[in-house]
Amino acid sequence: MKLIGMVGTNSNTSTNRKLLQFMRKHFSSQAEIEICEIKHLPAFDEPEDRQAPTEVQALCEQIAAADGVIISTPEYDHTIPAALKSAMEWISYTTRPLINKPVLIVGASHGLLGTSRAQMHLRQILDAPELKARVLPSSEFLLGHSLAAFDESGDLVYANKVQELEEIFEEFQLFVKINQQLVKDNHFKTEQSKAFSWESAIWGGERA
Residue 21, pLDDT score: 98
Average pLDDT value for residue range 117-141: 95
- Residue 78's region, left for phi above 0, alpha for psi from -120 to 50, else beta, is left
Residue 40 has pLDDT above 70, yes or no: yes
Residue 191, pLDDT score: 62
**Considering the domain boundaries, does residue 61 fall inside one?**
yes
Highest mean pLDDT out of 26-40, 46-60, 107-121: 26-40
In the chain, the DSSP E strands lie at 2-7, 32-37, 68-72, 102-108, 134-135, 141-143
Residue 201 has pLDDT above 60, yes or no: no
Q: Where are the alpha helices (H) located in 94-158, listed in sequence order? A: 116-126
Number of CB atoms found within 10 A of residue 60's CB: 19
For 33, residues 6+ apart whose C-beta sits below 8 A from its C-beta are 3, 4, 5, 20, 23, 24, 27, 70
Band of the pLDDT at 192, cuts 50, 70, 90? low
Q: Which value, in Å, is the radius of gyration of the alpha carbons in the chain? A: 17
Q: At residue 87, what is the residue type?
A: A
| Total domain count, the chain | 1
Residue 204, pLDDT score: 47
**Considering the domain boundaries, does residue 208 fall inside one?**
no
Q: Are 3 and 70 in contact (CB under 8 A)?
A: yes
Band of the pLDDT at 113, cuts 50, 70, 90? confident
Helix/strand/coil for 189 = helix
Average pLDDT value for residue range 185-202: 57
Q: Are 69 and 100 in contact (CB under 8 A)?
A: no
Average pLDDT value for residue range 22-44: 97
Residue 167 belongs to what H/E stretch?
A: helix 159-185
**Considering the domain boundaries, does residue 49 fall inside one?**
yes
**Considering the domain boundaries, does residue 42 fall inside one?**
yes
Residue 15 belongs to what H/E stretch?
A: helix 15-26
**Considering the domain boundaries, does residue 205 fall inside one?**
no
Domain that holds residue 166: 2-200
Separation CA 114–CA 75 (nearest Å): 8
**Considering the domain boundaries, does residue 145 fall inside one?**
yes
Residue 197, pLDDT score: 58
**Considering the domain boundaries, does residue 36 fall inside one?**
yes
Q: CATH number for the domain including 115?
A: 3.40.50.360
Helix/strand/coil for 119 = helix
Q: Which residue has the higher pLDDT, 183 or 29?
A: 29
**Considering the domain boundaries, does residue 206 fall inside one?**
no
Band of the pLDDT at 202, cuts 50, 70, 90? very low
Separation CA 103–CA 166 (nearest Å): 16
Mean pLDDT of the chain, nearest integer:
91
